[in-house]
Amino acid sequence: MIDSHCHLDFEDFNSDREAVLERMAQAGVQQAVCISVKLDDLPAVLALAQAKPQLWATVGVHPDYEQVQEPSVEQLCKLADHPKVIAIGETGLDYFRLKGDLSWQRERFRCHIRAARQAGLPLVVHTRAASADTLALMREEGASECAGVMHCFTEDWETARASLDLGFYISFSGIVTFKSAAALREVAKKIPLDRILVETDAPYLAPVPHRGKRNEPAMVVATARAASYHLTMLDVRDAPLVPSVSFLRGFSTAQRIPILRSILTVQSTLKRAAWLAVMFWLGFPVAAISQSTPGTEALDPTASQPIFEAIRRDEVFRLMRIIDTEFRTKALPSHPLWGSLLHSAAAERAPQCLRYLLSRSDLPVDASNLRGETALMLAAKHGDLAMAEQLRKRGAEINRPGWTALHYAAAFGHTSMVDWLLGHDAYIDAESPGKVTPLMMAVREGHEAVAMHLVRLGADISYRSQAGFTAIDYARQQGRDQFALWLLDRIR
């Protein structure tokens, strides 16, 4: 477990910093990144990182500080030439706290991006009420060349997708655990598992159940557990590994870190084998991960932007023209978020493009992306019956091992899709790798109408997951006692 963003140099920790580090270790948080916010305070940040092997540092000036020493590209690069510095930042734009002429803030952000590119280090980006300008500057200054982390992410899905397309990781703070953050959790569900980080932003934003207290690295475990519950269909017990894997990938440009150097300089086949081992341990179907989708190759999204833009807009003739002219003699690209072009068409709900792609023999209909999802699962996620029917006619498998389209339809509350799948012989009590059933997913995601419908159609209420939970347990965990009683009555 790694806390990717904290401020342990702040005076909030002066009285018990050693105890904080001890609790961090006891909680299983092996490393933390201490983030710089002002150049005047940088010596304290570096001294802390230098003294503690489990701590790392960044160099930068926060956008909320106006009357402070303004950095230059040369100065940031020089300061970053330190064995414990792994990133440039915290930088970015904040139109929430500050008003008026903020041109100085934009110039500072440009300076940091240029420094990150020159130093070959990732960026730590802060954006609040300024997502459009933030992304615009990132594109203008070529931030995709250095990539980095969108820290304490609270923006919408479009901002998240644009950030991912630029090669950035998305980091969630304790905010994702707040009751008021339902919209953020919906965004989080769409983000690939291997592009997620978690952080504390300590001493701020303590997660539930610690909200209102001073935050500290040990509490990142609560954020990871809550995040994994909402982000994936993994059991909660698997959550602590996820941010560690993403951290290693997200800060891969920091070649000076000994532990990362030893991992990241191995041959690509070994790196892939290690990643497959991690994914297998997390419960993903290895067959879906261990080989690329036949006939496709993963590319930088910016390199194939026109083809994905055509799919996003469902411009089938444009898609056909691009494939015919640019990919006549080479493999079709795959999107880093969705997977194959078929996955992209399903994820973007592009029926005309999907129909054309299904007519091609080089795009297997049941191929899985990195998350083990098929195109049919993505159609079920959106409740798109017409798209699901297209895929079925092409031979899409409804009852595949592990997670199924029925799990997705139940998890996202689509009763009509549930009926359609059951009408085509979907197993009503299909088991995930962790023995989670569609009924459990409907209950866990708060879709009581879908859960009741499944029960009336014969779903087994008493079935237990590998973790020992029933649908009743999930209802009780979420405080929906009346619904838990309703389920219990159906057993009696």
Cα distances from 366 to residues 65, 302, 402, in angstroms, run: 52, 26, 13
In this prediction, residue 103 carries a pLDDT of: 94
Q: Is 132 exposed, middle or buried (0-12, 13-18, 19+ CB in 10 A)?
A: middle
How far apart are alpha carbons 473 and 464 in whole angstroms? Answer: 9
Cα distances from 132 to residues 25, 159, 198, 376, 478, in angstroms, run: 39, 8, 23, 33, 36
In this prediction, residue 278 carries a pLDDT of: 37
35's torsion region: left (phi>0), alpha (psi -120 to 50) or beta?
beta
In this prediction, residue 444 carries a pLDDT of: 85
Helix 305-312, helix 316-326: angle, nearest 10? 160
In this prediction, residue 270 carries a pLDDT of: 36
In this prediction, residue 337 carries a pLDDT of: 66
- The DSSP annotation for 304-326 comes to THHHHHHHHTT-HHHHHHHHHHH
Give the DSSP H/E element, type plus range, for residue 188. Answer: helix 182-189
How far apart are alpha carbons 485 and 480 in whole angstroms? Answer: 9
In this prediction, residue 271 carries a pLDDT of: 37
In this prediction, residue 362 carries a pLDDT of: 83
How far apart are alpha carbons 336 and 459 in whole angstroms? Answer: 36
The CB-based long-range contact list for 464-473 (8 Å cut-off, 24+ gap) reads 464/435, 465/235, 465/434, 465/435, 465/436, 465/437, 465/440, 466/235, 466/434, 466/435, 466/436, 467/235, 467/236, 467/237, 467/434, 469/440, 470/440, 471/437, 471/439, 471/440, 471/443
What are the phi and psi torsion angles at 304 (to 5°)? Answer: -120, 30
Ranges in the chain, pLDDT < 70: 193-194, 226-304, 336-337, 492
Residue 443's identity, in one-letter code, is: V
pLDDT in tens, 304-332: 578 888 998 899 888 998 998 888 888 88
Q: Is 470 exposed, middle or buried (0-12, 13-18, 19+ CB in 10 A)?
A: buried
Q: What angle do CA 224, 225, 228 make, to 5 degrees?
A: 80
Dihedral, 483, 489, 491, 492 alpha carbons, nearest 10: 160
Closest by CA to 120, choosing from 86, 164, 91, 92, is: 86
How far apart are alpha carbons 331 and 362 in whole angstroms? Answer: 9
Cα distances from 320 to residues 62, 299, 328, 336, in angstroms, run: 46, 19, 11, 21
In this prediction, residue 203 carries a pLDDT of: 97
Q: What is the pTM of this model?
A: 0.58
Closest by CA to 90, choosing from 27, 160, 18, 42, is: 42
What are the phi and psi torsion angles at 56 (to 5°)? Answer: -125, 170
Helix (H, G, I), strand (E, B) or coil at 73: helix
In this prediction, residue 226 carries a pLDDT of: 67
In this prediction, residue 268 carries a pLDDT of: 35
**What are the start-end ranges of the H helices in 120-156?**
131-140
Q: What's the length of the chain?
A: 492
In this prediction, residue 249 carries a pLDDT of: 43
Strand partners, 92: 126
In this prediction, residue 227 carries a pLDDT of: 65
